[in-house]
Structure 1
Amino acid sequence: MRHDRWPKRTRGFTLIELMTIVVIVGILAAIAIPSYTQYIQRANRNEAQQTLLEAAAFLQRCFTQNNDYRCALPAGFAQTPAAPAAAKYNIAISAGGGVGSTTYTLTATRAGTMSGDECGDLTLTHTGVRGAVNNTRDAAECWRR
């Protein structure tokens, strides 16, 4: 009985087939990773915008009760998300005018993985004006996305 060391039809992939797969996966990764990164940044930006709008609603209630915007934001508004280690934005308020303050500006300052976001730091004023500072994109576009 004779056993062939190499059967006539071997199974498996050739080096060319394997390299073709590696190239295809590389091209897909080159397209997918930047898109995913932009998606994550957009989601984090939306979360910061939501937090700014909630803080603005809190300040409006404060003004209704005290006729003054100088109220401390609750602890939940300090960062988004609330866990300090995972903070993407730090939320701050600057109430202008001293006693009887009738203006404020809320700012969401980038932190952690969002520090490279091209939309910069998001702002919201007492009149509802939405803006961005330290940004390379249009503020209206950043708030829209």
Structure 2
Amino acid sequence: MHQPLRAARAGSPAFRANGFTLIEVMIVVAIVGILATIAVPSYQSYLRRGQLQDAFSQMSAYQLRMEQSYQDNRHYRDPGDADECARAVPTTSYFTFSCATPTAQTYTLTATGKSGTLADGYVYTINQAGDRRTTKYAGSAPSPAATCWLYRSSTC
């Protein structure tokens, strides 16, 4: 005859718990938290560097257009004509650009990071001589003044 099946009791070999204990779950949460505190700032830095490169490429292309215009006209701005500096200003999702032509032989292009982007707090300039400057890096002016376009650290 067959014997009736007995109910498995806790602690007996027939009883197996399914799932995770609270300690195991807390360990996993702690590990994920630690990884997130390391990974998120690193990822944001990576994205920021990409946005800064957008400004650098636009400013370099702008400088090329201005030099081509200078070769054709022998000036950056003609007092009786439209300002070439204002016509050629680039537009991007991360930066606003402004151009100043104090004389017919000089110009300065300024790229300012847009609010709400990772580029907010960064300001870069370039002029007719090719002088690249960072006037604001991560929201503050670099000291000493940076004579390059900073993108990874506050020194050239």
TM over 0.5: yes
- Equivalent pair of 2:99/2:110 in contact (CA under 8 Å): yes
**Unaligned regions of 5+ residues in structure 1, if any?**
81-86
**Unaligned regions of 5+ residues in structure 2, if any?**
78-83
Where relative contact order (Cα < 8 A, 6+ residues apart) is larger, the structure is: 1
- RMSD (CA atoms): 2.2
Larger Rg: 2
Partner SS state of residue 108, structure 1: strand
Bigger share in helix: 1
Q: 2 CA distance for matches of 1:130 and 1:143?
A: 12
Partner SS state of residue 123, structure 1: strand
- Equivalent pair of 1:91/1:106 in contact (CA under 8 Å): yes
Q: 2 CA distance for matches of 1:20 and 1:95?
A: 61
Normalised to the residue count of structure 1, the TM-score between the two structures is: 0.79
Identity %, equivalent residues: 33
Partner SS state of residue 46, structure 2: helix
Q: 2 CA distance for matches of 1:58 and 1:144?
A: 27
- Equivalent pair of 2:107/2:128 in contact (CA under 8 Å): yes
1:114 maps onto 2:118 in alignment = yes
Matches within 5 A, 1:1-145: 1-4=5-8, 8-70=15-77, 71=84, 72-74=86-88, 77=90, 79-80=91-92, 87-97=93-103, 101-112=104-115, 113-114=117-118, 116-117=120-121, 120-135=122-137, 136=140, 137=142, 139=146, 140=148, 142=150
Q: 2 CA distance for matches of 1:59 and 1:91?
A: 14
Normalised to the residue count of structure 2, the TM-score between the two structures is: 0.74
Q: 1 CA distance for matches of 2:64 and 2:149?
A: 23
